[in-house]
Structure formats: C-alpha cells, structure tokens
Amino acid sequence: MTDHSNQQRRGLIFALLTALLWGFLAIALKVSVAVLDPITVSWFRFSIASVLILVFIQVKKPGEFAALKKFPWLALVAAAGLCLNYVGYISGIQLTSPNNAQIIIQSAPLVLGVIGIVFFKEQISRRQLTGIVIAAAGFYFFYLTQLDNTHEAERSVYNSGSLYVLLAALCWVIYAVCQKILVRTYPVRIINSILFIFSTVALAPLVDYQSIFQMSIGMWFLMLFLGLNTLLAYSFLGEAFKYADANKVGIIITLNPLITIFVMTALSYLEVSWIASDELSAMGFVSALAVIGGAILAVKSK
C-alpha cells in the first residue's frame, strides 16, 4: 500500500471518529437547551475545550506554540464560521429535533465536497458523484416528509429551526474550507486553540451566567461531556483534513445521523422522560438512509 493510500485511510478513520462523536452530540444538545439557552451552552463548550487544549499543548507539545510567531489570520475567519455554526445548530435543535437537525446539517459536507472538487482540484469518480446526488435527493425528500408530518400550527417553528440549521451548515463550510488551508502550514491543535478561544471571548458578553450557577450536578457533567466532545471531534476532524481529501472527509461524516436516529428510536421505545420522542416515519427513514447510502457510495474506492 502506498504512502498516499495510508494517509487517506488514516484521514478517513479520523473522520469516522468525528462522525461517532457528532452522532451523540445532537441528543446531548437537545437535553441541554431545556435548561440553558443556546448561546450559554455554546460558550460552555468552547470554554471547556479551550482550557483542555491549552493544557494539553503546554504539557505534551509546547513547541507548537512557536507556530504563532506568524499568526494565522485566516483562523479568525474559521473561528467566526465555527462560532456561528454552533449557535445556529443548537438553536435549530431547540426548535425542531435531533433527527431533523442531524439530517439537514448534512447539507454542509455535501457543499464541502463540491468545494473540494472545484477549488482544491480534488479528483472525484463517477461513482462518488452519483453518491453526492443520491445524498442530496435524500436530504430534499427528508425535509418534505418531516414538513408533512408536522402539525400546521407548528410548521413555522419547524421552518425557522430548519433555517437555523441550514445557515449553521453554510457557516460550517466556511470554517472547513479555512481549516483545510490552514492545516497545510500550522499544527491542528494550534488552529483549534485559536478557534475555541476566539469563540469563547466572542460569546462571553451574551452568556446568562446566573443560569450556570443554578445548574444541577447532572447538568455540569453534561456540559463537561459537551466540552470534551467539542475538543475531540474537532481535533479528529482537523487530522482528517490533514490526511484525506476534503470531499471524502466531508461526505463520510454524513454517517453520524445514523447513530442519532438509532439512539433516538431506542429512547422513544423506552419512553424516557428527559427528552421528547422523535421517531421517524417510514418515508423519513428511507430518505435518511438515502443520505447515508449516498455518503457511503461517495467515499467507496474504485
């Protein structure tokens, strides 16, 4: 196996780990917004991730700080995109559901795949292109199915939530394109530290600090999980962009809704009280599988 093939495989493994973490993320976020507002939750995630990544670099890789002698100003654009992505995504989850948000947010890697082909001149086979088309069609029919299954009085709320998630997806594309460029020159951890610290500072004036001091022990553990999820997922994602083509990374992470759908279906069956039931209709399942199946086809080698 060639070095290029090894790098591609390593990058896709990191992308799969990111998908796994994001599969549980939407559910945790839905639980968190029952207690805290979206901006406070997002600030908490960035704050915890900032502290952890700075401690790790200082202890394990202190030499990486030397890369900041030439500050990567493009990282501020990436940070703004990521910050808006977090706030938009959790706002969409608050208004709709984890399953809905997870499918709609997949418009981001689809757009990223196209950008990888157009701007980064990455090669794509006919089979991969077919996969992108199938995934896009599945996304469209999923939206229509969910809209039909929503009560007429709640459709405006559903559309608002979906729009938040769609805008979050576009902001994520801005982040991802910048990240793909930055990892060519700077260590992934240094880039992520800039992203997390910038977002922490940017959101700080809008945080509801009083609600933080009123949180239960369970909520503190949930916030810690969200912070760790943020750190690990974006560390893995940065490594994925470093070793694999952007279009392949972007498509493979569309697998994460499968985890969310499975867990939410199980929770609905168990009739738990701490999260609203979110079962998909038969057509919703088919459309979601089209998105995921298209993603698998898109990353499958020749």
Using a pLDDT cut of 90, give the percent of the chain over it.
25
Task: Please choose, from the candidates 279, 272, 261, 285, the residue with its C-alpha nearest in 3D space to the C-alpha of residue 34.
Answer: 272
Average pLDDT over residues 10-38: 89
Which residues in 114-241 belong to E strands, given as ranges?
Answer: none
Per residue in 108-167, pLDDT tens?
767 776 777 777 677 777 877 888 888 888 888 888 888 787 777 678 888 899 899 999
Label residues 264-291 b or e (16+ Cβ within 10 Å = b). bbebeeeeeeebeebebeeebbebbebb
Higher pLDDT, 82 or 234: 82
Q: What is the pLDDT of residue 4?
A: 72
Higher pLDDT, 270 or 17: 17
Quick check: 301 pLDDT over 60? Answer: no
Q: What is the pLDDT of residue 300?
A: 58
Pairwise CA distance, residues 83 & 271, whole Å = 34
H/E segment holding residue 209: helix 209-213
Q: What is the pLDDT of residue 299?
A: 58
Q: What is the pLDDT of residue 279?
A: 74
- Give the model's confidence band at 89: pLDDT under 50 very low, under 70 low, under 90 confident, else very high: very high
- Give the model's confidence band at 67: pLDDT under 50 very low, under 70 low, under 90 confident, else very high: confident
Average pLDDT over residues 226-245: 84
Quick check: 65 pLDDT over 70? Answer: yes
